[in-house]
A = this chain, B = another copy of it.
């Protein structure tokens, strides 16, 4: 199924990620068909939102039936470009980097980490999840040989820009940055910043403004 639009709002992509997770869970329970109401409930959105989001890539479901789970998973993956495996490199083998290298969930979602880099001589040569940690000086040759298209930065903040420079010089145009530091890259390079703290802020903002009832036993010291 062709993607109907070259621009999909960020919020829609976020919801598509949720739909995919819920649909994959349904599939693993061998559910073949799901009504838009049931899917909406499971995803915590309203049915009209789902219909609107799916309309971006021409998926409307079957009236009176709902959505065929496997077919919808495939359609969403095609539209996001994750009906194939994207080869990625990780740079920064600290706690978070190791945790990502060991995370088993990447291939199912269309990604594989095929190389790990760190400038620490004590880490170079170490093997994690089958990958030998390499010196970033060797990145350029490896990116080409291993056909890497996306770089994942998990360095401390004071090494983030240098990591980005290595990726850009290695001809990687897509960067996922987990570090708290902002990076400067040429215009043709696309950066996504991962920061889970805004989720915590959304919680504290609610607690703070009294939008939620606070447990009576807690004082606000």
Interface, chain A (partner B; CB < 8 A): 3, 6-8, 10, 13-14, 16-18, 21-22, 25, 42-44, 79-82, 84, 86, 95-96, 98-99, 102-103, 105, 109-111, 144, 147, 149-150, 157, 171-174, 176, 178, 180-182, 188, 190, 192-215, 217-221
Q: Name the B residues within 8 Å of A109 (CB-CB).
A: 197, 200
Check A80 against B204 for contact (C-beta < 8 Å): yes
Which of B18, B182, B200, B212 is close to A173, meaning CB atoms less than 8 Å apart? B212
- Known contacts: A99-B98, A176-B200. The answer to whether A205 contacts B149 by CB under 8 A is no
Q: Name the B residues within 8 Å of A147 (CB-CB).
A: 218-219
Tally of this chain's copies: 2
Q: A3-B209, A42-B182, A81-B201 are in contact. List 7 more A-B contacts (CB 8 A).
A: A16-B198, A25-B182, A80-B201, A86-B204, A150-B203, A173-B214, A193-B199
